[in-house]
Chains A and B, each alone.
Chain A
């Protein structure tokens, strides 16, 4: 790809980017959110058209205007959000869009056979007759890879494929990817996880603000140097965290059992204690009950009989969200655009949401805009939210800045207990660093923080103790000083604490 330029209203997503992949290598595109990685591969895959620049495949100039053309050029793409139809079977998903040998009828038996062959050949265990919605995330990803192999791709793009996997599954995936590269496939791997990038890549191209910073091999660089290239300044990857003695118990969860969205039990008999001045990290792969646990503590999901939630010693199990907030709970929800902030509201309105009814901001039942604006402008400044004004619609801010708005709102209420779910998901490194420091600062001010994160590095870096969650249970709780990455990884896959501890 040569001199690729693509502009969207207001931003140049790709600015004359040169990028090449060789067959038989893994070439990583590394960069922050908004650096232009996804745009570049979407152009390659025909989902976007570039404004300028050219694409050549095996030295032949190519014009790719639709995914169908990319597919016939044997380019495949595994999207960050899986491109699967949940109500169809694995075989149907694989067959979709391919020519059937029995047109106009489907030939699913034949497809199933080939899927079985591919699974065997590449070590990808999948059952072709199962509906995709019944599969776990790791399995779904295998289906995506099978889909690509079924189409005989020579060039495969993987857009953040590890975001949803356990450390063990990531290792398995990397074995598969390495094998594919060795057998002559060209792989484009997109990630912002430096550790993974270093271990898998043959070459790394770092993007920042739509431009190529450098193309380099892992042997020539280090994670610190890569982070610096991504952000454009030096970054402290491991936050400084002085040891601190925790105080009294602020959040207590006892025998908590919670139902999930489909009425299945998703949290089983969970006991947790979080003390003042301590961060308890909950590690686990997505979908093991973390979201339901958080919602139950926040009062957004009802709990089964017998479970107890105490905030600062007071039983709030049967109290509503407002009562829990009044009792000192702050909540940073997992999906900030779904239940953390209202996208269409302005920054100011979102900053105000929780307190909009309080005496401070109303006069005789009417909103007092003078006091409100002053309050919001102060928060925007204190928390370094980058926004043109408090009147700006929240949806036009970057992920990191929206998260800062939410943090500003929650922390300005001076919570005794802070429930922080995936606080830096989809947030750039700069803002992540800021949010991490903020959470540690809160800890030092005596807040009891329950940090729920799927990013194991984040949990290891911030938490004082780590609780590992698997299939709704707490597998074990390990003090961070004793925690080893690989042991936590095993526990995330359900291996009991003792056994994981004794593993090499």
Chain B
């Protein structure tokens, strides 16, 4: 155990925690926007898988990382159009539609992978980019400021999301259709258009999360996410529908995961006994949800389709 509490190991753990937190953070921030508009998307995991596959495939074929990121976002956008059509235009139940999206993404990414790739081959990963000056701060620098660009982007998107929701007309529309769509409608705010836009944002960010995941790992395999998208949805609840709260949840989750990995590497817990340890983050989240989340309330119209009658 004492091996773990050396400075270099702690720094390495923090660094990998932040890296692991990135896909969660991206997906959860997007989902926060979606849920604030009253739309729950349980299909996040499926969108992440599909985007991850296409990003991986693009790198495999072209070696172009940024094209891969772009394609990941585009796949998310397309899935957003599909989910928006189902839930906003057709007014279908969100819970079941989201699960449908998940199964669709899981199955299609699996199928495409087997058809197009077959056996996992490693590809280029996102390079870490040092931020001048800041990365030279002892200990803190390597942990925080020698990360890849998507990690920086994810953290930049926290204030961006806060600003979008809190200070723009569009954000006001999102919050109002999530709390009382009839009121928004009576004031001439289009509930459908606002929700559709929020869904597109949420799904693009889920796509970005999938791209970030696969490009940090440099490899794809069937069901790569192993339910990360569902954790991302849970983190929105954990974070009480606020970007800062979501960030805390994503970081906590990433750090616990990194610690477990580190402990395995150091032999503090047996590698084979991983199942129990792998549960730790989930247990932590559930506990936090039970303790914290009772005090806050979800957007009042969350999961409720809107119609005028």
Contacts and interface: CB of A to CB of B under 8 A. Distances in A.
Interface stretch (A63-71, A200-208, A432-440): A63-71
Interface string B165-199: 00111111101100110111111111000000000
Given A47-B308, A97-B188, A106-B169, A83 B179 contact: no
Contacts of B300: 86-87
Interface centre among B175, B186, B308 (most CB of A within 10 A): B186
Contact of A85 (B175, B188, B190): B175
Given A85-B180, A88-B179, A67 B172 contact: no
Interface residues of A, number: 30
Nearest to B169: A100
Interface string A53-91: 000000000000011100110000101011111111000
Contacts of B179: 85-88
B188 A88 contact: no
Most buried by A among B183, B185, B308: B183
Q: What secondary structure prevails in chain A residues at the interface with B?
A: loop
B172 A71 contact: no
Contact of B187 (A71, A82, A106): A71
Nearest to B163: A105
Given A87-B175, A88-B179, A96-B176, A103 B169 contact: yes
A92 interface: yes
Contacts, number: 72
B186 A77 contact: yes
Given A85-B175, A88-B176, A88-B179, A67 B187 contact: yes
A70 B168 CA distance: 24
A365 interface: no
Most-contacted residue by chain B among A48, A103, A105 (CB, 10 A) = A105
Contacts of B175: 85, 87-88
A283 to B, nearest CB: 30
Nearest to B179: A85
Given A85-B179, A87-B179, A96 B173 contact: yes
Nearest to A77: B186
Contacts of A66: 188
Contact of B186 (A48, A67, A92, A105): A67
A79 B186 contact: yes
A382 B95 CA distance: 45
A83 B169 contact: no
Interface in B181-240: 182-190
Interface in A435-471: none
> Closest 4 A-B residue pairs measured CB to CB?
A68-B188, A97-B187, A83-B183, A83-B186
Given A84-B180, A93-B183, A97-B184, 16 more contacts: A47-B186, A48-B308, A66-B188, A68-B188, A77-B186, A82-B183, A83-B183, A85-B175, A85-B179, A88-B176, A95-B169, A95-B172, A96-B176, A97-B187, A106-B168, A147-B187
